[in-house]
Structure 1
Amino acid sequence: MKQLIITTYLVLSGIAAFAQQEKKYIHQGNEWYKQRKYAEAEASYRNSVEKAKSSIAGNFNLGDALYKQKKFDNAAQKFTEIAASSGNKQVRAQAYHNLGNSLLEAKKLEESIEAYKKSLLNNPKDDQTRYNLAYAQEKLKQQQQQDKNDKNKDKDKKNQDKNKDQRNKDQKDQDKQDQKDQDKKDKDKQDQDKKDQDQKDQQGQQPQPNQLSKEDAERMLEALKNEEKNTQDKLKNKKAKGVKGRIVKDW
């Protein structure tokens, strides 16, 4: 992958005449900048701008000091103002280059590409700007592909969630139907058990055909005894009144 060439332009020499005090602050800011003390450099450049608000050197170097402190939005605003106000093509080219770097660091790829293109319009021979433009375009392509992949993943996940929800719904419906069938079976069994118990209770209360109750059996036994007694009595009576025996005279 191509590596970004982080190069920002710093105006070290005067572009136009400015007051002695303004020069002093810019010179002091440049010294801080060389020592990588960018906050101190920013303060000095701001002082120079207060003395001469239209100072290209003061404003340009202030934007660069902001960039070095990763204050990319503030730096981008400063370079945009310079590019819009300067009539010098070289200054505009450098301002747009730095603007492109600021926007790129802020992850604003499409805007950074436009800034690099504007820089090249003002200075077509700037290879660093051309390189950074290619880098930003490649990053944008990767981002778009990643966004597409993420979108597809989100779509797949939504479909999976939808299918999962449908499966859960189907399972709940099936569970509900199974429970309903089981409840019906339980009720049918309870009804059958109750019916069987009622029949059993009814059979216990009413003797079945060819089956005598204890009381009926005792009455029939008593009747048989009485009938047998009557028969014995009749036999006895008959014996007593039977044919007279032959009388043998002994004369």
Structure 2
Amino acid sequence: MKIKKQHIVFTGVFLFGITTIFAQEKPEKLQKEANKFIAEAQEALSENNFASAEASYRKAISKDPSNLNAKYNMGNLYYAKEKSLNAEQRLKEAAEMDATKDEKHHIYHNLGNSFMQQKNYQEAVNAFKEALRNDPTDEETRYNLALAKKMLEKEQQNQDQNKEQNKQDDEKKDENKDQQNKDQKDGEGDEDEDQDQKPKDEGENEKDKKEGDENEDKQKDKGDEQKKDDGQGDKEKQQQPKPTQGQLSPQQIKNLLEAMNNEEKKVQDKINAEKAKGVKIKSEKDW
């Protein structure tokens, strides 16, 4: 029977071909045993028994490693269960075996589908191209190829955008880092300036304090002297005898003596003046 293809566009499931095709000349016994296990796998799949079907395909491949049909159908089985990596492995093994162009077309078509399932769009494009080389008339493969190219282009655009965004983020990080380094240097400079200014300010404050203390001492000494002078004056005033009632004070006596001396001097000056006026000079000799 003809092998059925998987389609990611038109249907979500696919059919497995009965395993009588791709038969090559093998020892009759091994061929019969391999075909028996393949038939068991198909029956297990009809009952949705994935584990039993997988085990039967493995037995078929073990009996006949060159059985193209067993590897191809096992790859399709993994694809249906969304085990795309396993599907890729078995389909690649089938693609490496001798097969007709029609068989190669089906293998690479399904291999492209497994790559699409992995979102490996570049490999999907390559697989679909290889399928079309073996059958250029298959429109389903051509459609899947166009879809894979579109998804690949979108992926590349996203990568370019992410790359540009990462570049901008890196530049922003570098700018922030440079600004932080600059701020740190400015902060260190201000700290050094504060340290230089601090001793200077402390010295000026010490100087001002010292001058203030000196002025305070001078004011204190001046105040002490003033108090001393005031005290001395008060003491002298206290020591001066106070005149008793009816007697002259020493100052009054002093003033009186000075007045008497002045009067006496005036009298003496007047007498001296009279004497000088009464003396006559003789101009002739007495006889």
TM-score bucket (shorter structure): 0.7 to 0.9
Aligned counterpart, 1:141: 153
> In 1, distance between residues paired with 2:40 and 2:255?
168
> In 1, distance between residues paired with 2:212 and 2:223?
15
CA deviation after TM superposition for structure 1 residue 183, in Å: 5.2
- Using CA pairs below 8 Å that are at least 6 residues apart, which structure has the higher relative contact order? 1
Aligned counterpart, 1:132: 144
> In 1, distance between residues paired with 2:148 and 2:49?
28
CA deviation after TM superposition for structure 1 residue 56, in Å: 1.8
- The AA in structure 1 aligned to 2:155 is Q
Is the contact between residue 105 and residue 130 of structure 2 (CA under 8 Å) also seen in structure 1? yes
Percent same amino acid at aligned positions?
Answer: 23
Does 2:121 align with 1:109? yes
Aligned counterpart, 2:225: 213
CA deviations on 1:79-125 (whole Å, 9 max, x unpaired) are 11211212311111111112111222223221121111111111111
**Mean alpha-carbon deviation: is it higher for 102-111 or for 128-137?**
102-111
Aligned counterpart, 1:90: 102
- The AA in structure 2 aligned to 1:98 is N
Aligned counterpart, 1:249: none
Unaligned runs of 5+ in 2: 1-7, 242-248, 262-287
- The AA in structure 2 aligned to 1:38 is F
Aligned counterpart, 2:18: 12
- For 2:93, which of 81, 84, 90 is the aligned residue? 81
CA deviation after TM superposition for structure 1 residue 226, in Å: 9.2
- The AA in structure 2 aligned to 1:68 is A
CA deviations on 1:27-85 (whole Å, 9 max, x unpaired) are 22112223443332111122222232222221211121122222222221221121121
Q: How many residues align?
A: 239
- The AA in structure 2 aligned to 1:109 is Y
Is the contact between residue 8 and residue 98 of structure 1 (CA under 8 Å) also seen in structure 2? no
Is the contact between residue 38 and residue 66 of structure 1 (CA under 8 Å) also seen in structure 2? no
CA deviation after TM superposition for structure 1 residue 20, in Å: 3.2
TM-score (norm 2): 0.69
Larger radius of gyration: 2
> Secondary structure of the residue that 2:96 maps to in structure 1?
helix
TM-score (norm 1): 0.78
> Secondary structure of the residue that 2:133 maps to in structure 1?
helix
- For 1:153, which of 165, 177, 189 is the aligned residue? 165
Aligned counterpart, 2:66: 54
> In 2, distance between residues paired with 1:129 and 1:222?
133
> In 1, distance between residues paired with 2:171 and 2:42?
59
Is the contact between residue 38 and residue 68 of structure 1 (CA under 8 Å) also seen in structure 2? no
- The AA in structure 2 aligned to 1:122 is N
> In 2, distance between residues paired with 1:13 and 1:169?
72
> In 1, distance between residues paired with 2:180 and 2:94?
62
- The AA in structure 1 aligned to 2:143 is Y
Change (3 A) 1:237 1:77: closer
> In 2, distance between residues paired with 1:205 and 1:213?
12
> In 1, distance between residues paired with 2:46 and 2:154?
35
CA deviation after TM superposition for structure 1 residue 137, in Å: 0.9
- The AA in structure 2 aligned to 1:69 is K
CA deviations on 1:121-179 (whole Å, 9 max, x unpaired) are 11111222111111111111111011111111111111222222233333334444444
- For 1:41, which of 53, 56, 59 is the aligned residue? 53
